[in-house]
Amino acid sequence: MKILASQDHQPPAEGDTRAVALANDADALALPLDGVERVDLHFPSFTDGRAFSQAFLLRRRRGYQGDIRATGDVLIDQLVQMQRTGFSSAVLRDGVDPADAQRQFDRFPAFYQGDAVNPQPHFVNDKAAV
Amino acid sequence: MYQYTAFDRQFVHQRAAQFRDQLTRWQKGKLSEDDFRPLRLQNGWYVQRYAPMLRVAVPYGEIASRQLRVLAQVARDYDEPEAAVFKAAMDGQGLLGTTFLPKNCAHFTTRTNVQFNWIPLSKSADVMDLLASVDLHGIQTSGNCIRNTTTDALAGVAVDEIVDPRPYAEILRQWTTLHPEFAFLPRKFKIAISGSKDDRAATGWHDVGLHLLKNDQGEIGFKVFVGGGMGRTPVIGTVIREFLPWNQIMNYIEAIVRVYNEHGRRDNKYKARIKILVKSEGQQYIDDVEEEYRQIVEIDGGPHTVPQAELDRVAACFVRPQLADIADVAPAALDASLKAQAAEHVGFDRWLQRNVHAHQDVQLRAVTLSFKRPGQSPGDATSEQLVALADLVDKYSAGEARVTHDQNVLLPWVHASRLFALWQEAKALGLASANVQLLTDMIACPGGDFCALANARSLPIAEAITQRYQDLDELDDIGEIDLHISGCINSCGHHHSGHIGILGVDKDGKEWYQVTLGGSDGSALSGPAVAGKVIGPSFSASEVPDVIEAVLTTYRSLRDSGETFQAAVRRVGLDPFKEAAKSARHPAREELATA
């Protein structure tokens, strides 16, 4: 997952058809994706989890292959969740130390559920479930 | 009990390490208070009126003696406030009249978890490591996520059981644990499962309620309810599926929660529970869930369809344990010896009738140890009591106990030939009150003495009623009744579902209590789940015990032979009780002054 500082992120320009921003309350299943290389999903507050479902639907249900980017109130403690639901890049909120980010990805070698990256749950991945 | 695999065990340790990382960043100022709060909440750490509160998860209520011993250690070594903190609490609550605040103490909750009230946050990561050593944790015991799944305390032993809910509860535990998409829902989300004819899990009151059943072909499935909840707007769940094949349960709940995550209200936390969405959208919500479920199965491929092998693996953990050194006894001989003991000891006789439950295995019984007695709050256990409890659990119940919805502890595997010995030991420990399902077996939240949300204290009310009703003959005569006490409208004490409900309210900065009658949790005793109705303007704390007595006296005067309190309220309506409650009011102070 690509972690960006806010100065490294350009919001989609008006009229840009390759990069689009999807509103937090919009239907991810209705977004036209032809020619779209990047979809920005927004966290108005990190406790507003709607964009997790949007990302999951884009990546998993619709098989979207482009960049799905988390913007807004992005903290390092949600990065692993973001990756698992289909985000491929995230713009950290100003003042967040990216040095603390990497070890969050290293902590859990596996999870119980299937997700957008590994669709199979743990009990299927590892039949012995040990 | 479910046996943790190396994966399960490592996962809990990793979660504890993650929490320590977050705590350390917060302590260093790298994580603000606002950013840390939702993270600590999802590990069970609140900050309450005077001190932090930790809620430890007990998945579907099953707990092992080795876990009880560690909870005892937490109570002894960590549930100890600094002197200044305790003094501030005693001074603050003393103004209201509180003379005692328990510490070094665990508290069993209605959602079968365990809470501690005094552990300093600076020691929180150490406590999580200690808990992880016996597979315990606080994962998702708070926060706007999917909480601990609850079930019937008699799961796997109840004589009216259709399907044992425990393997399904465990499968749901795993699926809900750190679900990446559903950690920041509009509001908290609670699931309860019942597998028996009698619903002892209050499923109608949950965000999702599940009834295990068998169809005409003998296939196992779930009747699915959605949108129940207490709080300001009490709502009973709506049936969304009459029969869902068992292996589809995760796919289907994924649909329920995803539609809620997308469409649940986030602008007002009092309207954010799924019950409000289900009420406002009605059939549209159900249609959306069905369509989402269809796409999960048909487009995503239903990846969380439970394979038979996985159910078998999990179910294999839930077998009757071996009870060492106890030979089977002919049932007639068992009955005869119990009768003889009961004839000789009236206390044992009462306890057998009240606290001992029939079992699927005729050799065995399930026994409720009552944590409702004078001098201690409902559901409280001191460190010493937890150690003694763990000893009883080892000696009499193959090392396994259950935390019950009613804030007691149940031993599910007691051989009938050992009941008398267990009773004697439990009695010596003060855990043998023969009051299960009677008035003093009440549910109460910690209330204003601890909780920052509470409008009024619950514990002094509970204590006053407990003190007043210590005559077992009188309690028996009043009969089976649910008394539930909440210190505020958040309803942790389930006042809505009490046959008698008491709700703390704030009027002009003073503690007042609303009394409701006729509420039901949905059990056979209580009737279809419904919220109780208020019987008049609120009462002062000192009036409440008198009002309860007046209501109960009225019941005893107007009941038909054998009629329970709940049945009588339904038959005669609220009016006679309203009158009685009104006449139990104390004269106002001004009137006294001028009299």
Q: Cα separation of B391 and B396, whole Å? A: 8
* Inter-residue contact B52 to B124 (CB < 8 Å): yes
Q: Is B175 on the interface with A (CB under 8 A)?
A: yes
**Rounded to the nearest 5°, which phi and psi values hold at B511?**
-85, 125
Q: Nearest chain B Cα to A56, which residue?
A: B181
Query: Which amino acid, residue A65?
Result: Q
Domain ranges in chain A? 2-125
Q: Cα separation of B455 and B449, whole Å? A: 10
For the purposes of burial, counting CB atoms within 10 Å of the CB of B75, is it exposed (0-12), middle (13-18) or buried (19 or more)?
A: buried
Chain B residues with CB-CB distance to A126 below 8 A: 7
Q: Is B294 on the interface with A (CB under 8 A)?
A: no
**Which of B10, B38, B179 is nearest residue A47 as measured by Cβ atoms?**
B38
User: Would you write out chain B's pLDDT as a tens digit for each of its 595 residues?
Assistant: 999 999 999 999 999 999 999 999 999 999 999 999 999 999 999 999 999 999 999 999 999 999 999 999 999 999 999 999 999 999 999 999 999 999 999 999 999 999 999 999 999 999 999 999 999 999 999 999 999 999 999 999 999 999 999 999 999 999 999 999 999 999 999 999 999 999 999 999 999 999 999 999 999 999 999 999 999 999 999 999 999 999 999 999 999 999 999 999 999 999 999 999 999 999 999 999 999 999 999 999 999 999 999 999 999 999 889 887 788 899 999 999 999 999 999 999 999 999 999 999 999 999 999 999 999 999 999 999 999 999 999 999 999 999 999 999 999 999 999 999 999 999 999 999 999 999 999 999 999 999 999 999 999 999 999 999 999 999 999 999 999 999 999 999 999 999 999 999 999 889 999 999 999 999 999 999 999 999 999 999 999 999 999 999 999 999 999 999 999 999 999 999 999 999 999 987 654 544 4
CATH architecture of A2-125: Alpha-Beta Barrel (3.20)
Beta strands in chain A (DSSP E): 2-4, 19-22, 38-43, 67-72, 89-91
Q: How far is CA B351 from CA B150, B443, B472, in A?
A: 26, 20, 11
**Which of A47, A109, A122 is nearest residue B144 as measured by Cβ atoms?**
A47
Question: Could you give all domains of chain B from N- to C-terminal order, each with its CATH number?
Answer: 6-132 (3.90.480), 150-315 (3.30.413.10), 333-428 (3.90.480.20), 443-585 (3.30.413.10)
Q: What is the ipTM metric for this complex? A: 0.97
Is B6 within 8 Å of A130 when comparing Cβ atoms?
yes
Q: Cα separation of B367 and B67, whole Å? A: 19
- The sheet that has A19-22: what strands, in order across it? A2-4, A89-91, A67-72, A38-43, A19-22
Q: What's the count of helices (H) and strands (E) in chain B, helices before strands?
A: 20, 21
CB < 8 Å from A in window 129-148 of B: 144
* Inter-residue contact B526 to B200 (CB < 8 Å): no
Beta strands in B102-204 (DSSP E): 105-108, 114-116, 150-151, 191-194
The whole-angstrom distance between residue B322's C-alpha and the CA centroid of its chain comes to: 28
Is A126 within 8 Å of B7 when comparing Cβ atoms?
yes
Query: Which amino acid, residue B413?
Result: W
Q: Is B30 on the interface with A (CB under 8 A)?
A: yes
CA distance B291 to chain A (A): 13
Q: Nearest chain A Cα to B300, which residue?
A: A61
Q: Cα separation of B360 and B393, whole Å? A: 19
Q: Cα separation of B378 and B455, whole Å? A: 19
Q: Is B7 on the interface with A (CB under 8 A)?
A: yes
Q: How far is CA A18 from CA A15, A36, A38, A66, B404, in A?
A: 9, 4, 6, 10, 56
